[in-house]
């Protein structure tokens, strides 16, 4: 199951994009996005860690959830409130991370 489908199943509006460049365009065009879920390794002009850093600098109110099946970022690379979820994951794991974010006051709502 695709991540977008998992978020839909959990009751979130989710928007799928193909790369970091599309993600940036979407973030500039929409004000209702509260969380970005990104892989570290992806196509485009930046990887997921650079995307996360850019989001935290430009849109500090947007949460970032980073995933990877190969790379586990050092804690210092998870800037601000960014969280990491290792692959493979399922909807229950996503739900637990979102619950953890809610418990710490970083709960996403709206579009992802």
Asked if residue 36 is part of any domain, the answer here is yes
SS3 label, residue 110: coil
Domain containing residue 80: 3-85
Asked whether residue 111 carries a pLDDT value surpassing 50, the answer given is no
Q: Report yes or no on 94 lying in a domain.
A: no
pLDDT in tens, 23-36: 999 999 999 999 99
Q: Quote the CA–CA distance of 24 and 1 in Å, as a whole number.
A: 24
Residue 59, in any domain of the structure: yes
Q: What is the CATH number of the domain that holds 11?
A: 3.40.50.2300
Q: What is the pLDDT of residues 67-78, one digit of tens each?
A: 998 877 766 566
Strand order from edge to edge, sheet including 83-86: 35-39, 63-68, 83-86
Phi first, then psi: what are they for 79, rounded to 5°? Answer: -70, 150
96 part of a folded domain = no
| Within a domain: 91 | no
Residue 15 lies in a domain: yes
- State the maximum Cα–Cα separation within the chain, in Å, rounded to a whole number: 34
**Each residue's pLDDT tens digit, 53-62:** 999 999 999 9
């Amino acid at each position: 199951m695709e991540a977008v489908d998992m978020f839909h199943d959990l009751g979130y509006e989710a928007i799928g994009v193909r790369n970091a460049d599309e993600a940036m365009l979407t973030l500039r065009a929409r004000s209702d996005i509260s969380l970005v879920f990104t892989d570290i390794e992806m196509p485009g002009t930046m990887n997921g860690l650079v995307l996360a850093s850019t989001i935290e600098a430009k849109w500090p109110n947007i949460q970032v959830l980073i995933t990877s099946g190969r790379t586990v970022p050092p804690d210092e690379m998870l800037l601000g409130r960014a969280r990491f979820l290792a692959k493979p994951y399922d909807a229950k794991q996503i739900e637990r991370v979102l619950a953890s974010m809610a418990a710490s006051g970083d709960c996403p709502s709206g579009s992802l």
